Chains A and B, each alone.
Chain A
């Protein structure tokens, strides 16, 4: 059985799309396809109308595991992509770019620390900087906040929103957290169970300036409620079934 089938998804330039869906529905496969790490058995991935045939340097990625290199300092971790992607920046310019990003996410002053000296949230911030340092057009986030505690996670949503406003990127976020999807994204896509296709799409209602309180407005609550309902359908159990089980 294919993991993804009949899946069609378009992300506008500099938009933020969140993809939610039940566990194991193929969300991570989708990110690996878009990043060019996997080739689709059939169908196409297009970037500016050009098919994606392999990895390309205009993509940045961040995962649930921040995968920082323990033998490098924080700033050397962030600079890593600039050592791979062809560019004509000098060493000083690379450090300058990394330093700016680190300051933006609140890690100014931690440049020369080792990853093991940082908390989980700080490591994830550094990981976001690394994903953005080479100015990618597309940022792929595969549950980057999934392993953090609730308050740290909310802090990072705000950091992510700041980064997104500063960096002119098209973002695709994979998440299990509906509030996260509503807070960060302009468009929330619900995937069905396997084989996954787009089951539901909602336009996010939050403006350019976002505060956590915005999640508690009636509109946001309605949207969350609708998404919750869609997830239950994707999981293969509608609310009616649940009532049947409990009686």
Chain B
């Protein structure tokens, strides 16, 4: 009981830190304004330079803690082996993607990630998202400060796929997964843009007018997203949905068969 409570606390705190790490550029003008009244508060300019670094450190620590916690709960020999092989397959798909670029931000890795999360559950989906990003960055030489953000965002894709309801009928199932992957195609781009948003906009919103509120910051980001990224991300969304419609059903069936074999236990 205590362990479950502690585990829940770790998931809850990790969730807050993950969301905060992406959305803090929207909060900074407000935080700076609220803090300005305190005599010991640092100036906004001092925070402008260290906010991305502090948030990055917090995100890396949080990712480490979360992985330790999930590792302690979800990992058996079969899970380790299945994850390893599926991650290898997504890494090869990322190689293919470099060789044969698709439209806009289209990527081959989201469809398998969503299907694996849906079939094997939320924890497996989260691990598959984080590990796929890590391994494909290692093998394609794309390690950088963006990696923890990519790992978190891809982890959320797999995690949320595990939360999808189990619907009856294969056509409805595929329609649901295709719609889900379409939404994530746009959402992934929108939240990954946030990683460099502080550098474009100025960490405390100085790039904009100082002192604007959360609502106004979000509205401006939305304008930026529509102007710069939405067409690129639509390529990813349509690509994901088409891949799931064409290859989704046989993949779900094949993985479900293996799920039954993986879950087999002698009692």
Same complex: no
Task: Show the binding face of B for A, using Cβ within 8 Å.
Answer: none
